[in-house]
Amino acid sequence: MSNRLEGKNIIVTAAGQGIGKATAIAFHNEGANVTATDLNNKTLAELNKEYPKIKVQTLDSTDNNAISEFMKSIDQVDVLFNAVGFVHHGTILECEEKDWDFSFDVNVKSMYQMCKAILPLMVKQNGGSIINVSSCASSLKGFPNRFVYGTTKGAVIGLTKSIAADFVKQNIRCNSIAPGTVFSPSWQDRVNQSPDPVQAKKDFIARQPMGRLGTAEEIA
């Protein structure tokens, strides 16, 4: 622990597991005041039990009213880390309108709403940092059976660049990270739901330049 982020107030979404959880812990270990949000009360409680100084708050980032209520208790934000995400499996022919809408609500609208809610505070403070989790499956590269997921993550990159351009003079940075496949409980669930989980795992690993899956801690 270096305490280089001591005194900084940081909000992490989707902090119950995976990249969000690892990032919340990493910020905490650097001395930051971390508020970890997620839909899953159980995983948040587990995080808080292990790290009592991390404040946890149930929050649906797709619900604008819930975000507005959440923001009533926030008076300063130095960093927003948006990690909410959902992976739909399939081509355009397997993507129904409801799949499209749900994917955009979770992967894009949630980030739009969180950024819009927090930016006024950062403008008032004359500074801040927003980090949005995108993916290498985005405008960077197309992957089989990731049609709407890649589309939404491409939108995240566009959203990020636009915010960065609009608020650079207010000393606000907005960046995205675009990981490859990262081992997480949600990834394991997708593998387990495939017709052949063993082969699915091998296929995932075969696509990785490193020859293995990434870890949430590496991203954090």
Which amino acids are annotated catalytic? 149
User: What Cα–Cα distance (Å) separates residue 110 from each residue in 3, 38, 127, 201, 210?
Assistant: 30, 12, 22, 29, 31
SS3 31: coil
Whether 207 contacts 181, CB under 8 Å = yes
Instruction: Report the distance separating Cα 110 and Cα 3, nearest Å.
Output: 30
DSSP code per residue over 178-217 = ----EE-HHHHHHHHTSSSHHHHHHHHHHT-TTSS-EEHH
Instruction: Report the distance separating Cα 4 and Cα 14, nearest Å.
Output: 24
Report the candidate in 114, 190, 119 with the shortest Cα–Cα distance to residue 156: 114
First to last CA, the chain: 14
Q: Which residue has the tokens 């059976």?
A: 145
| SS3 per-residue string spanning 56-102 | EEECCCCCHHHHHHHHCCCCCCCEEEECCCCCCCECHHHCCHHHHHH
